Structure 1
């Protein structure tokens, strides 16, 4: 997905504002398994996924808990670092070789002060991230594992071909054995 489409999907910008922003966006490639972000570190960049898939997870003593998958066109950001310039909670691992667009948060925040259109774009960006977080919390609190799996099949069926079942089970908050049972029940 190209950067113009990603920017416009968040919030359309006038050409001059978009070109100003794009001057500071660079393309980077990283291999499968690369950790783009690590928990307990301040992340100074925002990424947009051109190609590939990533997962966000938090580590516990016994395992990793996956709570988000990012695919083409999606932003990748540590909101705690982005908003408060404090260490984030999450780690981000690339599940495929990825092509990304990278932007320094410091430069983006400078543009917020200089260009009202980019400031509004940044507000819409943060609002969208908030809504995603809200949907995740509501899903985890009020839906059964079966309902969460059906939602995944409906909204992101391609994840089942591109992501290890262990990561999907973790994302759903269940064991891999429980995921196998749910999948057998649906068949």
Structure 2
């Protein structure tokens, strides 16, 4: 997915502002299984996925708990690092070879100070991330694992071909055996 399309999905910018923002973007590539972000570290970048699939997880004592999947066009950000410049808690693992667009948080902050349109773009970016987090929390509180699975395959149908079932089960907070039962009941 092209960077202009990704930027426009967040907030439409005047051409001059879009050019300034695009000049701060670097394209980077990393292989499958690469850990893009590590918990307890300040992450000085915001990424957008041009090509590939990633997962966010928290490391528990005996296992990883997946709480988010990202694919083409989506941002990858440690909000704690982005907002507070403090270490985040999440790990981001690439589930496929990925091409990403990267923006240094410091450069982005400078652009917010210099260009009101880019500042508004940044506000919309943060708002959209907040809404996604809110939706995730609410779905976890009020929906069963089967309902969350149905939502997942409705909203991201390609996930089943691109993500290991173990990661999907972790995301749903269930075992792979329970996930297999849910899948069998849905057929």
TM-score class, shorter:
over 0.9
Residue 77 of structure 2: aligned partner: 77
The 3-state SS of whatever aligns with 1:28 is: strand
Distance 1:5 1:150 in 2: 28
Quote the offset at 1:12 in angstroms: 0.6
Structure 1 moving runs of 4+ over 6 Å = none
TM-score by length of 2: 0.99
> How many Å separate the matches in 1 of 2:102 and 2:35?
14
Q: Which residue of 1 aligns with 2:182?
A: 182
Q: CA RMSD in A?
A: 0.4
Is there any run of 5+ residues in structure 2 with no aligned partner, and where? none
Q: Secondary structure at the match of 1:46?
A: strand
Listed one character per residue, the Cα deviations across residues 31-64 of structure 1 (whole Å, up to 9, x for unaligned) are 0000100000000000000000000000000100
Aligned to 2:59: 59
Aligned to 1:138: 138
Following superposition of structure 1 onto structure 2, how do residues 113-132 of structure 1 map, counting pairs within 5 Å?
A: 113-132=113-132
User: In 1, distance between residues paired with 2:21 and 2:152?
Assistant: 33
For residues 84-113 of structure 1, the C-alpha deviation after alignment (integer angstroms, 9 at most, x for no partner) is 000001000000000000000000001111
Q: What is the match of residue 111 of structure 1?
A: 111
Partner of residue 163, structure 1: 163
User: What is the aligned partner in structure 1 of residue 42 from structure 2?
Assistant: 42
Paired residues in the alignment total 187
